[in-house]
Amino acid sequence: MCGIIGYAGCRPAVPVVIEGLHRLEYRGYDSAGVAFAQNKYLRVIRAKGKLSALEEKLATEQITTATCAMGHTRWATHGVPAERNAHPHSSNDGALAIVHNGIIENFQELKTELTAKGHVFHSETDTEVLVNLIAECRKREPDLLYAFAAALRLAHGAYAVCLMERGAPDTFYAARMSAPLIFGIGAGENFAASDIPAFLPYTRKVIFLDDGDIVQASAKNYRILRLENLQPAAHEPQKILWDMQAAQKNGYRHFMLKEIFEQPRVIADAMAGRVSPQGDAVLLPELDDLPVPARLHIVACGTSWHAALWGRHLLESWAHIPVQTEIASEFRYRDNLPLGKGDMALVISQSGETADTLAALRMAKKQGAAAIGLCNVIGSSIAREASTVLYTQAGPEISVASTKAMCSQMLMLALMALYWQAKQDRPTDAARRKGWLDILASLPAMLEEALPAMHETARRLSRKYAQARNFFYLGRGHCFALALEGALKLKELSYIHAEGYAAGEMKHGPIALIDPAFPTFAVALDDPLFPKTKSNIEEVQARQGKVIALTNEGTGLSADDVWTVPHLPPPLAGFMVLPALQLFSYEMADYLGKDVDQPRNLAKSVTVE
């Protein structure tokens, strides 16, 4: 969700914090602010809108060389986007300031109690309630660390928080519960942040905080304790191997475009070390101690759920494993989880912090099922809590709209299907498995060659269809999942209403909407279902609907715009379809002047329900 950074060190702290907030802009936000100590006061400066508005305010301030500060970019949960609701929030007496990601679920009850005790509130946020709750606890606890812990025990919900005190201008406090927070250890300086890029130019030495960790940090010292008893928490610092170069645009207009064009390398990286030197076997030692699941329940949200729907075809066809795909926010509220003996859960999340997916993982484990995590972020909550974890190795994904993450998830699902196929020891599958692995090995070069032409076609078509206010996306079989993803990308980025449908469902109601101003994007590949999809396209055309058909050479398909992509056997053809859909949405949004990397109302990691 939002961005947090706290800093204590020897540098001028406010510039370090602002720089860190810029690196967290990809998470999405509607306001920003900083807090720092100056002249025995705790200064809080906030602004609605982009960081540039905050920087304009700071430029008019006389800021001393404070060496401890914290900052925040907010995405509205409680209260409209406005300066009064921006973070940091201060306690009534001005002694404390706090920044917070997440939701305090019992904030209304706490607010009522605090109001009765004389506290006054100037915002609609749960965060202002939390800082005043800490101030109230401080009346009974002379040590702020103990007051902080006491308040957090009373607050129910999810949080990553950073806290500063007027009386200790060189120290910050932080805590984590069900929202990402990472501690960075530098040379004579320490950091806390909601994601690694915030402080990566200064240190690669990090501690991935656990739920229930509470931190006290100054320039040269820090301690991490457990919230329940304030006893030391055991953590081994880890070294981050990637650098900021991986998070730069490298000449591309937007991060999204860069990340689409990174997909050939993503596939190569994800396969590295996971295929035998002979190219005939998948090596996934993370799964060696688990049996082949009797039934696999894949749980995910958004784009990751679309990857799951696509992967189901491979797992059922290649590995003969029955698969149930579940939307995490629905799965977690089922009265009776559909987990039988021998069933296994697979949870997919790019960030490893998606709140509903994490809750589903915990529920599956509570039911006694093994839970596999598939994510991109080392040290994330899902990575640490899963029975075993497979990393997609996609590298940092900065654009809010996910692209290369889905590509890497699809690749890992294909490898898992081939791995479990081999584990069932069907001799007749060996030759087919080698053939599939050969195709996967050839994908990076094929995509590298195809992407420039795809980009050019996407640019041309976006200009033609930019005035459309609605779109249908159609697909059958494995292409249905891709149609859903194409529709999601178009509405995420361009704000054009788009719906993905199984092509055969069009005649069951949605076809009533077709008219000359309501175009259809049909994924109609040269596969066994092509004749059926072709018939659905003809039904649209009979009602004067415009059609973009994404197809292969030689199908003879007739449409308003025929877009051909290189042929691959199904379902691996999805690796050619996915970037075409992404590029069309990207070009449409860019042509319409939308904020491609930071679409309105969206955040990178959805850490609340």
Helices (H) and strands (E) in the chain, counts: 16, 24
pLDDT at residue 179 above 80? yes
Q: How confident is the model at residue 600 (pLDDT cuts 50, 70, 90)?
A: confident
Q: Any idea which residues carry the catalytic annotation?
A: 2, 604
To which residue do tokens 């894949």 refer?
298
State what percent of residues in the chain have pLDDT above 70. Answer: 97
pLDDT at 507: 85
pLDDT at residue 606 above 60? no
State pLDDT tens for residues 383-414: 889 999 999 988 888 888 999 999 999 999 99
**Among the listed residues 587, 585, 566, 463, the one whose alpha carbon sits nearest the alpha carbon of residue 521:** 585
Q: Tell me how far apart the alpha carbons of residues 77 and 53 are, in angstroms, rounded to a whole number.
A: 21
ω into 88 cis (within 30 of 0): yes
- Secondary structure of 333-394 in HEC code, one letter for each residue: CCCCCCCCCCEEEEEEECCCCCHHHHHHHHHHHHCCCEEEEEECCCCCHHHHHCCEEEECCC
Please compute the mean of the pLDDT values over residues 295-308 and round it to a whole number. Answer: 96
Q: Which of 124-138, 234-248, 475-489 shows the lowest mean pLDDT across its residues?
A: 234-248
Q: Is 185 exposed, middle or buried (0-12, 13-18, 19+ CB in 10 A)?
A: middle
State pLDDT tens for residues 426-480: 777 888 999 999 999 999 999 999 999 999 999 999 999 999 999 999 999 999 9
Please compute the mean of the pLDDT values over residues 499-521 and round it to a whole number. Answer: 91
In 178-322 the beta strands, taken as DSSP E runs, fall at 182-185, 190-193, 205-208, 213-217, 222-226, 238-239, 295-300
Domains and CATH numbers, the chain: 3-245 (3.60.20.10), 248-426 (3.40.50.10490), 449-595 (3.40.50.10490)
pLDDT at 147: 97
State pLDDT tens for residues 61-95: 878 789 999 999 987 777 788 899 999 999 999 99
pLDDT at 259: 94
pLDDT at 243: 63
Mean pLDDT of the chain: 92
In 405-557 the beta strands, taken as DSSP E runs, fall at 470-475, 497-502, 520-523, 547-551
Q: Which two tokens stand for residue 108?
A: 């209304």
CA angle 233/239/240 to nearest 5° reads 120
pLDDT at 317: 94
pLDDT at residue 306 above 70? yes
To which residue do tokens 């070294």 refer?
239
Q: How confident is the model at residue 353 (pLDDT cuts 50, 70, 90)?
A: confident
CA dihedral 267, 273, 276, 281 (to 10 degrees): -60
Q: What is the DSSP letter of 470?
A: E
Taking CA atoms, 436 is separated from 104, 281, 429, 430, 431, in Å, by: 49, 10, 10, 10, 9
**Do residues 171 and 216 make contact, with C-beta atoms less than 8 angstroms apart?**
yes
Local structure of 584: helix, strand or coil? helix
pTM of the model: 0.73
pLDDT at residue 601 above 90? no
pLDDT at residue 486 above 60? yes
CA-derived radius of gyration, the chain: 25
